Structure formats: structure tokens, C-alpha cells
Amino acid sequence: MKKTTTALLGFGYLALGLSMSGANDVWIAPTDTNEVRVEIDGIDPEAGLLEAITEIVKISTTEATKLSVQIAEIQALVEAGTLTEEEGEARTEALTEDFESRMENVGESMEEWGEEFGERMEAWGEDFGKKWESNDKAMDDAIGDAVERDLKMDLDFEAPEAPAPPPAPKKSTKTSFDYFEFHFGANSLRDASGYETNTERLLSSWESVNTRFSFGTKRKIGGAASPFVFQSGLGLEATAFSFNNDHMIAKVAPVSNGADATTEILPVTELTDVRRNRFDQLYLEIPMMLHIDLSKRGKVDESFTLGVGGYGGVRILSEALLLGSDSEGERMQIRTNNNYNTHLFRYGLQAQVGYKAWKVTGRLDARTLFQQDAFNEEVYIGSVTLGIAL
């Protein structure tokens, strides 16, 4: 149950993109005698696989969004001086504990559904096996009768003793597998429908690369012979965007008092003879995927695979790198650590097709790269990578 709860909390905090910026509404803290709790509906034990996944994503999204808004309201009160930092931390901790308690209930409900679903799949497998064995016996009997009828002969000598048949191999019952995957490919900046944007035309496609690795567990759903495999784990993804024609990402000062700084792609003025102008970000992420894996019983990644799923991540590094020469021709390097008005959290959808260990994965974020009104167009990170699973 701990693994289930951890996955739910991670998916709630990361994959569903909690935003720390936000609301200006006043948050009313619960008192010691009037604590407010939200009762969460469980997962129907008789629900199907897609229905259960849809319900758990819906519940996690709703609860995680509520928590994000409440935390943002507390931070606004602290910044306004209405609350002290100690009071803000105490209220945030209380909200987080209440959220974890509610998600623990969801985890227990999901675990009960998983046990019920596994029992249904196991019963289906046993029924299928009995029918197969019945048909197999009938076929053997028919073949034996035909051979006895058509090839019957009297022998005057004693036939040699037939060798004993080899023992039948034991059927594997393994359903859980550790995995490690490494992916490398190309980044792009797309619109919400996946089409090319004006900003993408400023990128150098050969130098805008994506590097990603992840590790975790793959579990067969419904027994060792089932083709359905659920994958979950942790990973790191590095995105690099290189710009053409000596352009570079930059924050632009506000034109009026009270306005926020915006982000633009501008020509480089600090250096000449620019050799590298790149914008890099690093994300800690939780990827999840449901596969159809045609591998043998008790095996994964030994045949054709097809998967769909999602991912969520939190930004842990953001920097711009410029390499060029100064006015005197001396080589210079300018490295700037800045978030450039990008979102702290990201999440999106992914699809994968593979054969044995080789995997091709396509990803498209479901949340814009930059914060609202901070960039001249809405762009989403997209990528296509070639990977290997170990």
C-alpha cells in the first residue's frame, strides 16, 4: 500500500502540475475546534481498468489543485504581512497533512480495486485455460483414433521401449520487473495541437536535444500471462534549446510600474562571434504508462510493445549559456541562472512503440512552458526520442 500511496502523491504533486503562483482570494484557516475535511469517494471495486485510472486521475487532480490554491493564498498572506512566516508554515503543514490523509484513503481504495481486478483476471485466465485443455484433449483423442484405425498392424517382435519424455518446463509466475531506460532525441516548441510555432523557427533543430533516463517497476496486470503491463518510476529529463542567428532568451524589464517582466528571444548584444547560445532546463519527473506487451509468459520487453500514459515533473535547474568573444576578441562565457518566467511544474501525455529493448517515445506537454502573459505566444515542449530499456 505504501508504494500505491507514494505513486498517488507523486502524481498529485507533480504530474498534475501544481502552480505555486496564484490566487488573491483570502484564505480562512481552520481552527482547532472547526477542522474541515473533504470526504473522497472511492474507486468502484468492479470498475474496469480505464474507468479506474480515469477516476483516480480526476480525484488526484481535484485535491491537488485545491491544495495548490490554499498554499498560494497562505503565501500571499505572508507576503502581505497578515501572517508571520511561522504561522504560514504551520498552516501549510496542516493542509499538507490533511491532503496526505485523504490521498492515503484513495490509495487504499485503489489497492482494493487492484485486488478485485486481479481476481477477475485470474478467474478469466483459469476459465480460458480449462477450455483450452478441453479442446486440446479432444484433438489428441481424434488424432489417436485415426492413427489406430489407419495404421494398425500386427508385429511379431517386441518393440523397443520408448525413451521417457522430458519433464515439462515449469510455468513462470513472475509479474513484477525492475527496469532502467535511457532516451535521447530532439526537442521542439509546439502549439496546443502539436503544430510548429513561430518560436520554433528560431531554434537550431540539430542542437535542441532531449536527454532522459528513468528507473522503476513494470507490473503485469492480471497474472504472469497477461499482456497488460503498468509502468511507474522516477526519472530526470534535460531539455536544451539552441537558437539560430545569434539570438538568446532574455527577461525584459516592465514598461510600466507594477508590471511583471516578460520573456523574449532577442539578438545577442553582449558578445560577438557567438559559438553557443543555449537555454537548458532539468526536471525531476514521475512517468507512468500502460503497455500492451506481447512477450512470453512471465517476461517483458521481449517482443512488440505499445504504450500510452502521462508524466509530471518539477523544475530543478534553469539556466542560459552564452559562449563568444568580447569587444577585444577574448573568449568569454556568460552563464545565467534564471527561471525566465517558466512554470515550476509541468505535465503531459506520452505514447511509445517498441520492439524488445528498443523504444520510440513521443511526448507533448499539456501545460505551457511560460507563465501566462509572460511570452508572446503559447508554446509547449514536445519531443521524440529513441531509447533502450534494460
Calpha distance 137→143 (Å, rounded): 10
Q: Is the pLDDT of residue 33 over 70?
A: no
Q: Average of pLDDT values for 159-164?
A: 65
Instruction: State pLDDT tens for residues 266-290.
Output: 999 889 889 999 999 999 999 999 9
DSSP per position, 38-64: -PPP---TT--HHHHHHHHHHHHHHHH
Instruction: State pLDDT tens for residues 334-388.
Output: 999 999 999 999 999 999 999 999 999 999 999 999 999 999 999 999 999 999 9
pLDDT for residue 245: 79
Confidence band of 48 (pLDDT split at 50, 70, 90): low
Instruction: State pLDDT tens for residues 63-89.
Output: 777 877 888 888 888 888 888 888 888
- State whether residue 164 is helix, strand or coil: coil
pLDDT for residue 77: 86
Which residues make beta-bridge pairs with 383?
A: 187, 363
81 or 216, higher pLDDT: 216
Q: Is the pLDDT of residue 28 over 50?
A: no
User: In 11-145, where do the E strands start and end?
Assistant: none
Q: Is the pLDDT of residue 34 over 60?
A: no
